[in-house]
Amino acid sequence: MFTQAIVRKPSTNFAAGITKAGLGKPDYHQALEQHAQYVAALERCGLKVRVLEADERYPDSTFVEDTAIVTEKCAVITRLGAESRQGEELIIGDTLGNCYSEIEAIVGDGLLDGGDVMRVENHFYIGLSHRTNEAGAKQLINILNKYHYTGSAVSFNNFLHLKTGITYLDQKNFVAAGDLANHPIFKDYNIIKTPPAENYSANCILINDFVLVAKGFPQTLAAIQARGYTTIELDMSEFQKMDGGLTCLSLRF
């Protein structure tokens, strides 16, 4: 059961962040509105949401998920793989310091973005991407082991982060896109495969009694509902333009 979330409002220079989406420039005011709807949805799921003010130094800082891994027992501050984002984690570290007594960090040559870390019960799959390296994955696994969790690295292609292409709901149910839907590591699970035109919708989140799903992806929505989940659709168009999805916008614990 999640009880809390941390989010950060988009900055006015949000459009200056990193993107390969090729979907055009996001509209700041629309992004703010979509962000407010996102916060309202988290509250509807029962979370107490801490909304951090925008940080103009970091155009990508609304994507707070990348800055930490949060569990019931500890928080792990990451070392972001994109140079322009390094530093975002320090500020989140201060905020998490008020919530956690056990705070760990990825250090040295380790690089790790939270978007590459997918928790499946007490196991954490860590995607080796352009942002997360083996040293970062290894450090995270060692930290997790200290708290009696397990972790393993997953190689994949074609997505920014592991969770851009696959997310875990519960009861062995995943939503996955492209090659990740057929990845041998996940062969014993139930995979809801997104049709190619709906790949963006593979990034969804189960929060307590609801699954948040990006708006405009009817086949994925229907498949998730068919498994018995209650859904909340959210318009994510402006965040999609910056390669961000639903999980990226919050830390949930």
Stretch that binds ligand CIR, among 93-101, 120-128, 138-146, 159-167 (CB under 6 A): 159-167
Catalytic residue among 45, 74, 204, 248: 248
Stretch that binds ligand CIR, among 118-126, 133-141, 193-201, 244-252 (CB under 6 A): 244-252
**Judged by CB, which is closer to ligand CIR: 82, or 105?**
82
Residue ranges in 100-119 that form contacts with ligand CIR under rule CB under 6 A: 115
82 touching ligand CIR, by CB under 6 A = yes
CA distance 241 to 148: 38
What's the angle, vertex CA 221, arms to CA 49 and CA 173, rounded to 5? Answer: 80
248 classed as catalytic: yes
List CB contacts of 143: < 8 A, sequence separation 6 or more: 74, 76, 104
The DSSP-derived string for the chain is: ---EEEEEPPPTTGGGS-----S-PPPHHHHHHHHHHHHHHHHHTT-EEEEEPP-TT-TTTT-GGGGEEE-SS-EEE-B-SSGGGTTHHHHHHHHHHTT-S-EEE--TT--B-GGGEEEETTEEEEEE-SS--HHHHHHHHHHHHHTT-EEEEEE--SSSSHHHHEEE-STTEEEE-GGGGG-GGGTTSEEEEPPGGGGGGG--EEETTEEEEETT-HHHHHHHHHTT-EEEEE--HHHHTTT--TGGG-EE-
160 touching ligand CIR, by CB under 6 A = yes
120 touching ligand CIR, by CB under 6 A = no
248 touching ligand CIR, by CB under 6 A = yes
35 classed as catalytic: no
Binding test (CB under 6 A) with ligand CIR, winner from 96, 244, 246, 250: 244
Stretch that binds ligand CIR, among 11-19, 141-149, 166-174, 207-215 (CB under 6 A): 11-19
**Judged by CB, which is closer to ligand CIR: 202, or 228?**
202
Binding test (CB under 6 A) with ligand CIR, winner from 161, 193, 241, 252: 161
Catalytic residue among 74, 161, 183, 204: 161
17 touching ligand CIR, by CB under 6 A = yes
**Judged by CB, which is closer to ligand CIR: 111, or 228?**
111
Q: Please, are residues 176 and 193 in contact by the beta-carbon 8 Å criterion?
A: yes
Binding test (CB under 6 A) with ligand CIR, winner from 55, 66, 88, 198: 66
Interface residues with ligand CIR (CB under 6 A) are 17-19, 60, 63, 65-66, 82, 85, 115, 160-161, 164, 242-245, 248
Q: Which residues are catalytic?
A: 161, 248
